[in-house]
Amino acid sequence: MKKDVILTGFPRAGTTLSATLINILENSVCLSEPDSIVKIIEETTSVEEYIKKLEEEYDKTREFIIEKGVVINRVPVKGETLTNYYQRTEGGGIEDVFKVGDEKVMVKDNGFNLVYKHNAHFLSILPQLLEKERFSVLVVVRNPISVIKSWRSLHIPISEGRMPAGEKYWPELRTIAESNKDVLTKQVEIYELISKRILTFKEHVEIVYYEDILKQNSLYEKVFCQKSVTSLPEIKNQNKSEHYNHNETETILNKLKEVGDWTFKLYENPEQYFQG
């Protein structure tokens, strides 16, 4: 594992949870969707320029951490472990459970693991990122039935069949978003598109399955060959969340069979699509 790491994957697949699990490892710092990454994609006009600025961002952040022992990160509002960006309210609404603020970090030396997490941004430029010898890439995968149910239970761009942060440098993603197809078809096509991208480069990335994290939440200790410096958070299995519409299972599966190809190659055992 290289010391500069990209963390990406399907939206709502467990990348936020993964960021937390990585961030509590010794000599590791994981930044979750920092505003600086958003700024880079807004200001650049090419993938090459984006990656150049991303590398500069890693350099600056490393220096800042060594000097200050703090980073600006997404931190929990109520001091609890951040494993999900959203919380359901009693009235059926959704509220953020994070804020952007200072987070103290402790590292042993300049060789600490520095991880940046973003789903759409990094997936959209994955082929070009992998051309760089600088980065290791972790990709978090979760079964399509649960992922799409999660998308459809919220009010975020992917709930409408869009991933705006990835559309600038991923023409195929932009084409799906701009089509006149129904939302479910768009969502299934997006899952298929991401699956194709991941599997095309599977020999060059580390694929981490959400279902494996559920079985062993110390999984990232193995991936990074480092121990956690604090107690591991309790992980609640979201695959059968009470907030999902489980009546849509067959409808989603039929649409996946209609559209999917790469999707069904993500898991060796098809029954894993229905894991709870």
- Domains contained in the chain, CATH given: 4-274 (3.40.50)
The whole-model pTM stands at 0.90
Confidence band, pLDDT 50/70/90 cuts, at residue 1: confident
The 10s digit of each residue's pLDDT in 96-143 is: 555 555 677 778 888 899 999 999 999 999 999 999 889 999 999 999
* Nearest residue to 238 (alpha-carbon basis) of 9, 16, 25: 16
Whole-number pLDDT of residue 194? 98
Q: Is 15 helix (H, G, I), strand (E, B) or coil?
A: helix
Q: Extract long-range pairs of 32-41: CB within 8 Å, 24+ residues apart.
A: 32/73, 32/74, 32/82, 32/117, 33/74, 33/117, 33/118, 34/72, 34/73, 34/74, 34/116, 35/72, 35/100, 37/116, 37/118, 37/121, 38/165, 41/121, 41/165, 41/168, 41/169
Return d(Cα 238, Cα 100) in angstroms, integer: 25
Whole-number pLDDT of residue 69? 77
